[in-house]
Chains A and B, each alone.
Chain A
């Protein structure tokens, strides 16, 4: 059940170039499914920021991993332990948890929601292979965290400073990864590449949003029939082939 709730910042640390990991104490944590997001009210800014939940630590703590892309997220990164932020969530339709092995494909700041997703698949006894792509080694995030969770992790970087030189698709080829079921989150060109190579799986989209709950129609995409789907409510996770990327 989505709710509006004040959360206490327990930590907010820089974990990569312009990327921060924030642990929040909130009762919303117990409600979050993998791939869902929360709307964060950054003090001094009007609209909330939609940020995916990276992982749920326990029923009162969740983790957000976010990149400072504008003034709002920059202000969020300046907030300190014990300060309060207001959350609205959990929101959206996340990744399905199916009883099968999975390849998780993440690009840049699309990697965070894959952590909780990996944990869910692994706890069900399934094998998880994570393919993570970044621009450079300096941009890499959550590689060790996914390994700690029990995922087999391979990496790619555009400049070759980490793992396979090239994209996540190059890393999938180079490592001979043949798992047919994919869950992906990352930039649109990456999702398009994933959707063109896999027929079975899901992609998580990013969008500028206002309400975050399906009312304003600010974040729509088209489905295969040309009908509008709301990234915030019908997504952010969509089955491959069901939406126009």
Chain B
């Protein structure tokens, strides 16, 4: 069955992409399977300078999900270009660079440094990370700020720009439209939902950061709802993310209007989840009367 999807900058052999922050730069998973099986890989957020991230504990389990507050830990864009992208270049899969920062200028600096790198096929602007004090979600919760960031990124970028949106907003559709008007080539949704747990022994929040981002199957209906609403309001492709664990989940997202999907927390539960989904996908698509991935995209949207 034809699982391929063509999106701006991305020739995906299948619609399965491990989500940023859940896959590092692929090295650990490459010990377990051939990364060329994947449609693409959204690599861990790059910032201009090295970031250690938040104090630990950074992880807490929740019903059908988890909270994380990693805080964009990474070695900085120069190190990533020098050390990680050459490793990824050996695989036949589309690399999406997730870009983050504390200010608009940070995002532009990372983009400019990656513009000449042939391994990176597209950018994913992370204006939706809930775990940093500056930048992150702060840029993604207002249509005006999201549009301004998108406009400046598009002006700087020589690769397609996808904008990763936060669900922690009153009206995600207005932000999606603002990004489209500002020139975004595509949207990725959703980032994690802002959440919290308390430690009954200490009486304090369980995460050292206090709050964290909720992911896992618990958020799948929120992601599908966001994709469904935005797919009817914009004409650019949407990559769906949130709680995907199997091929059935993928088809739900495709029906809601996603053109591809990212798989996040499920990689922590089953390190083989992405190749498993790719293997299951043809049978699930066929079961519901689809002869390709493209045929399933947007099937559930009101006409």
Residues on A facing B (Cβ under 8 Å): 1-2, 4, 41, 45-48, 72, 88, 207-222, 226, 228, 233
Contact = CB atoms under 8 A, between A and B. Distances in A.
Contacts of A233: 28
Contacts, number: 94
B236 to A, nearest CB: 30
A217 B57 CA distance: 11
Interface in B254-303: 265, 267-272
B171 interface: no
Given A46-B61, A233-B28, 8 more contacts: A46-B265, A210-B268, A213-B28, A215-B22, A215-B29, A217-B44, A219-B56, A220-B58
21 contacts: A4-B270, A4-B272, A41-B269, A46-B63, A46-B216, A46-B217, A48-B268, A88-B271, A207-B57, A211-B271, A215-B28, A215-B29, A216-B68, A216-B268, A217-B21, A217-B24, A218-B68, A219-B59, A220-B73, A221-B56, A228-B73
B66 A46 contact: yes
* A4, A212, A218, A221: residue with the most chain B Cβ atoms closer than 10 Å: A218
B267 A226 contact: no
B53 interface: yes
Interface string B212-226: 000011000000000
Interface string B49-90: 000110011111111111010100100000000000000000
Nearest to B266: A46
Interface of B: 21-24, 27-29, 31-32, 44, 52-53, 56-66, 68, 70, 73, 216-217, 265, 267-272
B269 A48 contact: yes
Contacts of B62: 46
B31 A2 contact: yes
